[in-house]
Structure formats: C-alpha cells, structure tokens
Amino acid sequence: MKLLNKMSAACAVIFISSFFGVMAAENSFYAFAPCADAKLEKIVVLSRHGVRSPTQDYQTLSSWSKNDWPQWNVPSGYLTDRGYFLIKSQWEHLKKILIKDSVYKNNLFKSVKIIADSDQRTVKTAEAIREGISSENTIYSDKKDVYPLFHPVKAGIVKLNAQDVQESIINRVNSTKQQDAINLIQTITNCCSQSICGRNAPCNLSNIQDSVTVKDNDVKLLGEKAIASSIAEIFLLEYGQWTDRNAGWGQVDEKTLTKLLSLHNEVFDALNRQNAVALSRGGTLLNALKNEINDRASHIAFFVGHDTNISNIGGLADLTWSIPDQGVNSIPPGCAIVFLRWNSETENNQYVTAAIAAPSIKFIHSENPDKERLFLISANLNCEGKICSLTKFNKKIDRALNR
C-alpha cells in the first residue's frame, strides 16, 4: 500500500494530514503510525450506531411532507436488521485489517471492552460489532433510561448555560447558507403542513424561522434548517435500509444525497460542535475516552453511542475529517473515531493518533457491502501542529475539559 505522505522515523516532527480512502482490505491502521518503528498498543473506538428508523413521530413527519413516508418494520429509533447486518459487515472488514496489522498476533484481542449507551440501537450495534470482530466479551450498558456517560445533560448531572448556548448556535446557524440544498428538499417533500406555520400562507421551509430553545436543560434547534437537516438524515437512513430503490420517494439517489448531506453536516456542526454545547454534552465522555486511552488493562475498547457524541468529541478535541461524497465532518451510520496509542522504542515515547472509520454511501446501500468501499481517514489530531505524544495529548484534552 502506498501512503500519500511518506513518514520519517522522527515521530516528534510529523503531523499527519493525509487522506486515505481505499478499499478497507487494502488499508492499514499503520497508515496512521507516527514513525517507522511504532507499535500499536491500544485501540479506543467511539462508534455511532447503525441504520435505524426515524426518531420523529408520525405527526411530525406528516407535517414535513404530504407524501406517505415509508413504513419501517421496527419501532421509532430502533436499529433495523439491515442496520445490524451493515455494522457486522463493516467490522468484519476492519477485523481483517487488524489481523493484517498483526493485532491478533500481538494478542490485543485477549482483552476487549465494549460499552454501549442504553438505547436499543446502541446495544444492538454493540452486539453487531462484537459479532463482526468475533469477540466473546460482555457488552456493558447502563440499564437506566438515560446513561449519563453518553447523555450527562439529559441525565441532569451537567447544566447548560442557556444564553451561551443560544447565542453560539444561532450565530453559527445563521452563517450556514446551503440554500440550494434547502430548495431541493422543499421540492422533494413539498413541505410543510399549515400546522407548522400557523396562519402564514403558503407554508414552506422558507417561512419557518430558525430558533434555538433551551428547555428542561436540553437544547433544540428549530426552524427551516433544522427541519431540512433532519429530512436529509432520514433520506440517508432510507438509502441504507432499502437497497432496491432510491430514498425520498424515489427522488434521492447517491448524487442527490451527497448534496443534501452537505447541508446536514453544517447544521449538525452548528448544533453540536460549539464549545458551549460540546463541553456540557461531551465532556464526561471525552474524559472517559482519555482515561481509556491511557489504561493498560485492556487493549481494545469500544464506546457505542450516537452521532451527537462523535460531533461533541470532534469539537472538543478539534478533530476534523472529510469523507468522500459525504463531506466535512460527516457522521454516517456506523461511523467511528478510532484513537490509536503507539509506542516507539527509538523515540522512547508514546503517541496518540486518530482516524475515522466510515462506510461509503455505496456500502450503506449495497446488497453486497463487502464489495464496496470503507474509508480510513485521518481525523487530523495534532498537538500544536505536531503529532501528539501521549503526554501532550492528555494535556490537550485536559485543556479542552477546563475551557
């Protein structure tokens, strides 16, 4: 395999910014090694769940389009059998990379930890990962309705600063243009029901003003861009669920989906990567990830949560990535941040790098995903423009947690 940027043996001066988007079976986690003699000691994965049904209720969906929305064979927000299959296939691919990288040979799989949020979609995703990597280890999940590790604000252990949250989000949302994508969603859905606009006529997306509310210690984005972003996400889920047709009542193919995801990514970033939100919602999880990266008791650990968790962590740790045909900071079903801890005997030091493991749109839609592309892409983790030693990584995270 050819690396896009050759890496020298001097770990301390390397900053990885390469982009890797080749067939998973031809790739390697060693593409993200800090130097030639670095050995992979620890893998910590934060994964989003797989393809699920929409979380919106029927009344909400009906207000967004007069068309009959597809019927899902699972309750609202549940991982589907198709979603389980895709996650299992994805990690079967990644297991082959780990075998090629001698992870099995180095006995890293003797100790695997899998921690999942308590939702059905996250627990089932964790089970699919466990099956994909052929691990017999137990999945740990909090059986409470709200797992504080993944939802500290909702659990009531962290408070939001309402004014800071509202100002930071609405300023970022207002800077998001994407009018072409919004117009496209308007055309596809013929949004919206008069129940959204009140007496305003005609009722369409452009008549619904963006706003941010903080209620019951939680934040919500409402309005034109929020609705359009949610619909774009639903179309992605539909495209993953049904391989025999396009999403959006047959109007959303891969090319169209790419346009819509650009809008969703920007709005999602505005809502979840701002420090006022990311620190409150993601600080507890980021601290757990840092502790796990430093822990020597286990060699591979999985945290299975949501796209919001990944976005929060990305914002706090200043991680950025771009998935082909999906855009900047896209988080498709099954997307994962993979933290890699390395040891270099030559440098007498430990280092941390980060990658994004993500399915392509073709992978999500295919009946035979093993023939389609998975991506391993740099998440551009750096410490003052250089590769992160473990010590500098810890300091970077501590600073983020104390901002």
Does residue 101 sit in the same domain as residue 83? yes
What's the domain count of the chain? Answer: 2
Does residue 115 sit in the same domain as residue 141? yes
Domain stops at, among 226, 252, 272: 272
Compute the average pLDDT of residues 281-304: 95
Type and span of the H or E element at 376: strand 374-378
At residue 10, does pLDDT exceed 70? Answer: no
pLDDT at 2: 29
Q: Give per-residue pLDDT as tens, 53-84.
A: 999 999 999 999 989 999 999 999 999 999 99
At residue 148, does pLDDT exceed 80? Answer: yes
Q: Look up residue 131 and give its two tokens.
A: 């099956």
Compare 95 and 111 and report the one with higher pLDDT: 95
Compute the average pLDDT of residues 312-328: 96
Domain annotation covers residue 285: yes
**How far apart (Å, rounded) are the C-alpha atoms in residues 316 and 338?**
15
Is the separation of the CB atoms in 87 and 81 below 8 Å? no
pLDDT at 106: 55
Domain annotation covers residue 154: yes
pLDDT at 3: 29
Q: Give per-residue pLDDT as tens, 133-143.
A: 988 888 999 88
pLDDT at 299: 87
DSSP state of 112: E
Chain mean pLDDT for the chain: 89
Does residue 123 sit in the same domain as residue 135? yes
Domain stops at, among 272, 296, 315: 272
CATH number for 213: 3.40.50.1240
Compute the average pLDDT of residues 25-35: 81
At residue 18, does pLDDT exceed 50? Answer: no
Compare 86 and 173 and report the one with higher pLDDT: 86
Domain stops at, among 272, 293, 317: 272
Compare 211 and 367 and report the one with higher pLDDT: 367
Does residue 203 sit in the same domain as residue 146? no
The verdict on whether omega for the bond into residue 192 sits within 30 degrees of 0, i.e. cis, is yes
Q: Pick from 235, 209, 211: which is nearest to 224 by CA? A: 209
pLDDT at 217: 74
Residue 198 banded pLDDT, cuts 50, 70, 90: confident
pLDDT at 384: 94
Does residue 135 sit in the same domain as residue 181? no
DSSP state of 334: T
Q: Give per-residue pLDDT as tens, 300-309.
A: 999 999 999 9
Residue 7 banded pLDDT, cuts 50, 70, 90: very low
3-state percent helix, strand, coil for the chain, nearest multiple of 5: 40, 20, 40
Is the separation of the CB atoms in 152 and 283 below 8 Å? yes
Domain annotation covers residue 2: no
φ/ψ region of 107 (left if φ > 0, alpha if ψ in -120 to 50, else beta) reads left
**How far apart (Å, rounded) are the C-alpha atoms in residues 41 and 83?**
30
Q: Give per-residue pLDDT as tens, 155-170.
A: 999 988 888 888 888 8
pLDDT at 108: 55
At residue 9, does pLDDT exceed 50? Answer: no
- Domain of residue 234: give its range: 162-272
At residue 109, does pLDDT exceed 80? Answer: no
Q: How far is CA 3 from CA 26, 28, 84, 93, 342, in A?
A: 11, 10, 32, 20, 18
